[in-house]
Structure 1
Amino acid sequence: MTEQSSQIKNKKRVADHGEVFTHEREVQAMLDLVEHESFRIDSRFLEPACGDGNFLAPVLKRKLERVKQRYVRSQSDFERNSLIALSSVYGVDILEDNVEACRSRLFGIYDTTYAEAFGESTRADCLNAARTILSKNILWGDALSMLRADGSGDPIVFTEWTAVNGRKIKRREYTLANLLAYQPFEGESLFSDLGEQAFIPKPVREYPLVDYLELAE
């Protein structure tokens, strides 16, 4: 298969949806421009037309490589930090089959990395937590309208996962529209380091703290 043909599935999808996949060479070059952030475990990446994960897969590989370097001697530390790395990767696509393929691809990368580090000691609870994270982070929707693509008219809602007190994870949900809107903070002095008013989005839902192995739904 030629490089050009591997970047499309078929001409109809290109005509109907403008679907063209970015080649890995270009993805790696873009990530090298933000090399520090691409390896930082908790830096968040959003791909608004994620396809089957051509951009997000290399991001996740870089993050998990850093987790292996730092935490392979402790399974619990590896698990918690690898889930944080996974939870920092977000994607939207207007085609449902791409969403399923992207989730499967990213889970495969996670599963393989975890198994390489701990073999038969891997835990089902951790893998189930990874599946839950991907179900909330890789979504079927239209990033232009910021609505789900299932015909419901509901907004795209992303989940923020934050590590708290070692093993605990705090989960908050935000609409994509709210995350992308500029909303200056109206209160006491919270400002960015550039002297601008800080943007503090309001969650549409919050969840109680849970252990990282209890994230699965």
Structure 2
Amino acid sequence: MMPSTNNIQVKSKKRVSDHGEVFTSEREVNDMLDLVKQETQRIDSRFLEPACGSGNFLVEVLNRKLRVVESIFRRSQLEYERNSVLAISSIYGVDILNDNVKECRERLFEIFDSKYSKLYRKKCTEQCRQSIKFILSKNIMLGDALYYTNPETNEPIVFSEWTFITGSLLKRRDFRYRFLVDKSNSSDHVNDLGDFSVIDEPIQEFPVTHFLKIAEYA
């Protein structure tokens, strides 16, 4: 079941018929996430929602992560920005409908931006905002999770792995979603850190870049 905004469980009968789109209520989202509460409070813990809808599961995961970021790093804007990027870069979603993908990205960005703006006001930077938007454009993808492809282009779904190398330097590597899913159930291919490279070789690697400049570089 997929999450929605304002606890609306069905947008239309046609969407239910065509796509099986039934949304999960906010209470159920929180109850389910509380089962893995410790993971939701780890800034770098990765979450993938293969039918993310408009994003309530991912929204709540991000809310929990950003509360941790704020409690630890609020006194340093650079560290707050860096760890917010780390939190958001660990959240992934797939949905088969374009409007859901767009809404999910927007909601996740607005959660970050409202907290960021409240903390730092005029000191907020557009570079940080653009980095967040760019990461969301690579982490929340249009796709059919059952067939591992984009339903419009039939191209494979590709996700980006974001890894802080040292300090503020960020490394991006791209992986096919199918390999992540097909091999993730095998203990031979997954380590305790959930490293994507253990599962499959990246299809593309990018130069190490300062996290505030990844959108400019792209």
TM-score above 0.5, yes or no: yes
The one-letter amino acid of 1:105's match is R
Moved runs in structure 1, 4+ residues, more than 3 A?
Answer: 183-186, 190-193
**Cα offsets for 1:50-105 (capped at 9, x unmatched):** 00001110000000110000100101100010001011110000000100010011
Who is 1:200 aligned against?
Answer: 199
Q: 1:67 to 1:11 in 2, by over 3 A?
A: same
Asked if the contact 1:38–1:59 (Cα under 8 Å) also holds between the matched residues in 2, the reply is yes
Correspondences of 1:149-168 after superposition (within 5 Å): 149-150=151-152, 152-168=153-169
Q: Is the alpha carbon distance of 1:177 and 1:118 closer, same or farther for their aligned partners in structure 2, counting shifts above 3 Å?
A: same
Partner of 1:103: 105
> Which has more helix, going by share of residues?
2
Q: Could you say which residue in structure 2 is the equivalent of 1:87?
A: 89
Matched, 1:212 2:214: no
Match of 2:16 in 1: 14
> Conserved in 1, the CA contact under 8 Å of 2:54 and 2:103?
yes
Letter of the 1:200 partner, please give it. Answer: I
Please say if residues 190 and 199 of structure 2, whose CA atoms lie closer than 8 Å, have aligned partners that are also in contact.
no
CA RMSD of aligned residues (A): 2.2
Q: Cα distance, 1:153 vs. partner? A: 1.7
Sequence identity percentage: 49
CA-CA distance at 1:191 after TM superposition: 8.4
Aligned length: 207
The question of whether the paired residues in 2 share the 8 Å contact of 1:185 and 1:200 is answered with no
- Unaligned 5+ segments in structure 1 are none
The aligned runs of 1:58-97 (5 Å cut-off) are: 58-97=60-99
- Could you tell me which amino acid in structure 1 is paired with residue 212 of structure 2? L
Which segment is superposed worse, 90-99 or 113-122? 113-122
What displacement does 1:4 show?
11
Is the alpha carbon distance of 1:73 and 1:26 closer, same or farther for their aligned partners in structure 2, counting shifts above 3 Å? same
CA distance in 1: counterparts of 2:6 and 2:60, whole angstroms: 20
Does 2:173 correspond to 1:169? no
Amino acid in the other structure paired with 1:67? V
Q: What does residue 47 of structure 1 align with?
A: 49
Alpha-carbon displacement from aligned partner over 1:141-179 (angstroms, at most 9, x marks no partner) = 1000000122x2210000000111110001000000111
Q: Write the letter of the residue equivalent to 2:76.
A: S
Aligned-partner SS, 2:44: coil
The amino acid of 2:179's aligned partner reads: N
The residue type paired with residue 174 of structure 1 is F
Shift of the 105–4 alpha-carbon distance from structure 1 to 2, 3 Å rule, reads closer
8 A contact 2:70–2:80 mirrored in 1: yes
Q: Highest CA radius of gyration, 1 or 2? A: 1
- TM-superposed CA distance for 1:7, in Å, is 1.0
Q: Which consecutive unaligned segments of at least 5 residues does structure 2 have?
A: none
